[in-house]
Structure 1
Amino acid sequence: MTKTRVIVSGFGVVTPYGIGINKFKKGLFNNSPTFSKFKHKYVESCEVQEAALVNEIETDTTESLAIKMALIAVKEAVDNAKKPLLSDSAGVFVGTGVGCIDAIEELFFNNNSLSDFDYRFGVVGNIANAIAQEYGISGQVSTFSTGCSSGNYAIASAMSSIQLGKIDVAICGGVDPRSVIAINCFNRLGGLDKNGIKPFDKNRNGTTIAEGSAFLVLENLENALARNINPIVELINYGFSCDAYNPTVPEPTGEQASLSIKKALEGIDLSQISSIFAHGTGTKLNDAFEAKCLKDVLGKYSSNVPVTALKSLIGHSGGASSAMTVCSAIVCLTENIIYATISTKDIDDNIDLKVVFKNENLNSGYSLINAFAFGGNNAVLLLKKY
């Protein structure tokens, strides 16, 4: 039985570069960093206060930045996809790590108490519900919260539902807002680098907190062509796995994370992989772990394929991060350029990867997008320019 082909017909983002794909593209290829101080009275005691924040959107105490960022990115994606039919034949798939925690935090900090109505922000499914309500989508509406692999889980699950014939069109992606609790927790864990994120560098010492949203419109190919849509990229495959090992530390052998990569690459000639968009958190353990897994699966090809890490430019946006990386890969595939991993100057001697130090031409082929989250929740996607 032939698999239903699934393509991207539109995508949209809200990033620390600003609102929209054009600002995102400009920032990526200009290799512009986006980091500034997270100004909040409950962050002042943190050793590391640097973050990559969205500054173009304002909210009040009745709103969630997470929902606003999601709706803005979705609108751009839907508009770019020439407004596909969204009804009971469509679905919504949202990945988020902390949901609307921004609204809960501000309500609590300002009022020191929460009403029953305010607790609506505590339901992570409210973001997906808001999108469904905005577009009248009455098909499958799902939320995935697997840490920083949430976005990839949402996109892959949307792809699967289309291939199974459950829906024809999906809005899918990830979103996470700034969180006072998150930056305090990462400081306590020692997971933030006061000198800035440096993925795969021998002097790396942690990540940098961020926020944003990234959403795609997926369709089965037949549906898209019938609407005279020019597909942007095609989703080829995905791989899921779980370390089942530790809440924050990756399982040392990398067996399960490697399995997720193998699943995504099933049936693919490894010589045809043209780019790897790494998870690249900048922490000592995770970068070494990811490099090991890539080496174990790709063998000799791991040191020949260009590798870049989006987080070096726009930080770690949690549940949005992998969907953001997918959107960055789409930009690269359409422009035939791969952006640099900035701040990384001296690759760890134990990491055998071809990390991109400056923008390079990107050859046609398959692009691998990795996400290895807390709890060992691994989700890897494989894309190709249509």
Structure 2
Amino acid sequence: VARRVFITGLGLIAPHGEDPVSIFDRIYQGDSAVRLVRSGTADFGSDLPLATVDFTPKDRIPKTQQLFMARASQMAVVAAEGALQSSGLFREGQSVENGEMGVYMGCGLGGAEILQEGYRTYFVRQSRRGRPSTVPMIMASGPASHISMRFGLHGPTHTYSIACASSTVAIGEAFRAIRDGYLDTALSGGAEAMLNDGSIAAWERLGVLASSHMDGPEASSRPFDLERTGFVLGEGAVLLVLEAESALRERAVDPIAEIIGYGVSSDAFSLTEPHAAGQEAAMRSAITDADIEREEVQYVNAHATGTPSGDPIEIEAIKNVFEDHASNLAVSSTKSVHGHLVGASGALETAITAIALQKGRIPPTANLTHPDPCCDLDCVPGYGREAPELTVAVSNSFAFGGSNATLVLRKV
């Protein structure tokens, strides 16, 4: 018998801060966390709009553990602690109540800064005396492993490295495992930290990063807008506690939202170009999995990164899935203010969608001042919208490589 699955805790290390409610309030107001940051050196580099995180592991992670943790893992462990505390499953100085909890994480690249450091040691300094811990530090599975070790979690520990869809798939797979009776609880989400010179240069060379807008770096991320030039790269870690209904009822916990559906698909089309048919398949699968009618969906948290080609294709896919109902939907991209966290984006946007349902507030697409006629749905321009009737929402993540994932959430 399929079990109901609820989100009971959130832990965020995000460009807007760490408190979930404060983060949502800033996003709802269209307050951007994007800033101009120097990448490279004074003689060789560029100033780029980026969504950085104000985070240091000092006094938050034992020094001996920091030596074996890349930045993504450090942020993931702190975010996991926040999620466990907010769910009531963990208090400082105590053990986690459920040691059989699973860990399902998404991560695109892992220890990007450690990989860069290794190359510099070997090729620039021409030294073979790099970190002995380089290999375990650069593994994409590092964040999940460090979380399980830090909190003594003996359930399944899985990592999904699927570019921009990584953490949405991680949450979806955790949802399935709990719904189908394999687990009662799971920590699930994503972590990413690739704001180092080498990674940024690679993204620049791919031609997908936004240039700074004339109105300032805060206006650089412009999904659905005619003046969009690409996405703003971000970093962070976001963890959700997922629990079966029976587990949270035993603890008399008030959940944040319910996950009711999950769908995945592959475009089998291009490594970098999106394809509407694949995106449609993920959304249709998720809605079918949720056992709802498409007319019940009221809000779509779009993947929309702000690339010239990607945004209209997602709008096309939404129209094809929802048909006449598409004009009734609110569709927004919160990447307009928090940037694209790659492997952690889906988790952040799932958390935002969950809080939107809880509060009855739809977050906006900031910087949407000149709507693209090809993106002609209600994209919630500028500022958030009160929506006390908001009950069902969808969150999309569509990745390089053609991997697509969609979650359906419901108000509780």
| TM norm structure 2 | 0.88
Q: Any idea what the Cα deviations from partners look like across 1:243-287, whole Å, max 9, x if unmatched?
A: 122211123xx2221110001111322222121100010001110
- The CA distance in 2 between the partners of 1:52 and 1:64, in whole Å, is 19
Once the two structures are overlaid, the 10-residue window that deviates more, 310-319 or 330-339, is 330-339
- Counterpart contact for 2:39–2:200, Cα < 8 Å: no
- Tell me which residue corresponds to 1:360: 385
- Tell me which residue corresponds to 2:101: 90
- The CA distance in 2 between the partners of 1:329 and 1:284, in whole Å, is 25
- The CA distance in 2 between the partners of 1:211 and 1:38, in whole Å, is 13
Per the TM alignment, residue 23 of structure 1 is displaced from its structure 2 partner at its CA by 3.3
Return the letter of the residue paired with 1:381.
L
Tell me whether 1:73 sits opposite 2:95 in the alignment.
no
Q: Which runs of 5+ in 1 are unaligned?
A: none
- Tell me which residue corresponds to 2:138: 122
Per the TM alignment, residue 300 of structure 1 is displaced from its structure 2 partner at its CA by 1.5
- Tell me which residue corresponds to 2:10: 11
Count of residues in Structure 1 that have an aligned counterpart in Structure 2: 383
Return the letter of the residue paired with 1:160.
R
Q: 1:104 aligns with which of 115, 121, 124?
A: 115
CA distance 1:43–1:23, shift in 2 (3 Å) = farther
Q: Which runs of 5+ in 2 are unaligned?
A: 91-95, 214-219
Secondary structure in 2 aligned to 1:19? coil
Per the TM alignment, residue 213 of structure 1 is displaced from its structure 2 partner at its CA by 1.1
Once the two structures are overlaid, the 10-residue window that deviates more, 21-30 or 351-360, is 21-30
Regions of 4+ moved over 3 Å: 42-48, 58-63, 84-88, 106-113
Per the TM alignment, residue 47 of structure 1 is displaced from its structure 2 partner at its CA by 5.3
Once the two structures are overlaid, the 10-residue window that deviates more, 36-45 or 366-375, is 36-45
Task: Name the % identity.
Answer: 27
- The CA distance in 2 between the partners of 1:149 and 1:44, in whole Å, is 36
CA distance 1:141–1:349, shift in 2 (3 Å) = same
Q: Any idea what the Cα deviations from partners look like across 1:149-184, whole Å, max 9, x if unmatched?
A: 101000000011112221110000011012333321
- Tell me which residue corresponds to 1:36: 35
Per the TM alignment, residue 352 of structure 1 is displaced from its structure 2 partner at its CA by 2.6
- The CA distance in 2 between the partners of 1:235 and 1:116, in whole Å, is 42
Return the letter of the residue paired with 1:234.
E
Once the two structures are overlaid, the 10-residue window that deviates more, 183-192 or 83-92, is 83-92
- The CA distance in 1 between the partners of 2:318 and 2:42, in whole Å, is 36
Query: Within 5 A, what are the aligned runs for 1:1-386?
Result: 2-41=1-40, 45-46=44-45, 49-57=48-56, 62=67, 63-83=69-89, 87=98, 89-106=100-117, 108-109=119-120, 112=125, 114-177=130-193, 178-194=195-211, 195=213, 196-251=220-275, 254-266=276-288, 267-357=291-381, 358-362=383-387, 363-386=389-412
Return the letter of the residue paired with 1:83.
L
Per the TM alignment, residue 110 of structure 1 is displaced from its structure 2 partner at its CA by 6.2
Return the letter of the residue paired with 1:265.
I
| TM norm structure 1 | 0.94
CA distance 1:368–1:140, shift in 2 (3 Å) = same
CA distance 1:58–1:283, shift in 2 (3 Å) = same
Return the letter of the residue paired with 1:23.
S
Return the letter of the residue paired with 2:302.
A
Instruction: Provide the aligned C-alpha RMSD in A.
Output: 2.0
